Amino acid sequence: MIYEEVLSFYKNYKGPKCVIGYSLRGRAIVAMHAGQVYGRQYISTYAIHGREWITARLALAHLARPAACGGWIVPLVNPDGAVISQSCLPMWKANARGVDLNVNFDAEWGKGALNTRTPGGSNYIGPEPLSESESRALAAFTLKVRPFVTFSFHTKGGEVYWQFKGGGDRRGAELLAAATGYKIKLTQGSAGGYKDWCIQKLGIPAYTVECGSDGLSHPICRLADISECRSALRYFFLHYGK
């Protein structure tokens, strides 16, 4: 199981690390620091959707080859959802309460085109913004770190999203597209995501990277299928601001 894999990596990790919160079922949501400790910091998140658990392995790869800039890696935002996907319902995206964590943030909450008001495997917004322990933990950690940029790695589609309600920084999307070979795309009809919240509420650049070809099937199980994302953070920080 990916949760045990991440925990094992975390226990052996020699750099700064912490538990930022716990899932509904009591699983730890861990964060590990990579790169420079001082100066401005980034946050990079993975596996906010259960069936996209392969991105947690991408997180571990990013930790193994840190970018020049310092930042925090959160490999498994939704540990319960990943366990559900790996054990019984492969297509499950939500947390254990049936809330899609990536529509649970306070950024035009409930206004997404695909949002639902009923618990299930995907798209349920929850009873209110940040109703879930997992989304609250990530939001609180983000406010504590105050990053200058955030990244959200998802699967699939080979696309980079950068904009929300007129805000965002396309330059960073161009760098991520150059690093991965993906297309830059504007999101239409989405709301309540972590990227959206970072752009709208914190006023910082934030990017969603949909790893892997759209021809792949969920859940993607091989890191090799999204290997083009291994260098994304390193490439970004080598060129961002130049």
Whether residue 10 lies inside any domain: the answer is no
Task: Count how many domains the chain has.
Answer: 1
Report the pLDDT value the prediction gives residue 112, as an integer from 0 to 100.
86
Whether residue 90 lies inside any domain: the answer is yes
CB atoms within 10 A of CB 205: 24
State the pLDDT confidence band at 150, using cuts at 50, 70 and 90. Answer: very high
Give the separation between CA 60 and CA 65, rounded to whole angstroms: 9
What is the mean predicted confidence (pLDDT) over 121-142?
A: 98
Q: Is the pLDDT of residue 187 over 90?
A: no
Give the separation between CA 50 and CA 86, rounded to whole angstroms: 8
Whether residue 192 lies inside any domain: the answer is yes
Residue 195, CA atoms < 13 Å, CB-side half-sphere = 25
Whether residue 151 lies inside any domain: the answer is yes
Residue 41 has φ and ψ, to the nearest 5°, of: -125, 155
Range(s) of the domain holding residue 151: 15-239
State the pLDDT confidence band at 236, using cuts at 50, 70 and 90. Answer: very high
pLDDT tens per residue across span 20-38: 999 999 999 999 999 999 9
Q: Is the pLDDT of residue 242 over 60?
A: no
Whether residue 8 lies inside any domain: the answer is no
Distances 44 to 121, 124, 138, 166, 215 between C-alpha atoms, Å: 24, 24, 11, 22, 25
Whether residue 9 lies inside any domain: the answer is no
pLDDT tens per residue across span 151-174: 999 999 999 999 999 999 999 999
**Identity at 70, one-letter amino acid code:** G
Cβ-count burial of 11 within 10 angstroms (0-12 exposed, 13-18 middle, 19+ buried)? exposed
CB atoms within 10 A of CB 126: 24
Whether residue 230 lies inside any domain: the answer is yes
Task: Give the CA diameter of the chain.
Answer: 47
Under 8 Å between Cβ of 97 and 104: no
CATH of the domain at 120: 3.40.630.10
Give the separation between CA 37 and CA 112, rounded to whole angstroms: 37
Q: Is the pLDDT of residue 206 over 70?
A: yes
Under 8 Å between Cβ of 104 and 126: yes
Under 8 Å between Cβ of 42 and 147: yes
Tokens at 8, concatenated:
């094992």
Whether residue 3 lies inside any domain: the answer is no
State the pLDDT confidence band at 39, using cuts at 50, 70 and 90. Answer: very high
DSSP string covering 103-144: G-SSSSTT--TT-BSS-SSS-B--SSTT-SHHHHHHHHHHHH
Distances 132 to 75, 78, 107, 181 between C-alpha atoms, Å: 18, 10, 15, 34
The average confidence (pLDDT) of the chain is 96
What is the mean predicted confidence (pLDDT) over 8-29?
A: 98
Its pTM stands at: 0.97
For residue 223, the 8-state DSSP code is G
**Identity at 229, one-letter amino acid code:** C
Give the separation between CA 83 and CA 189, rounded to whole angstroms: 29
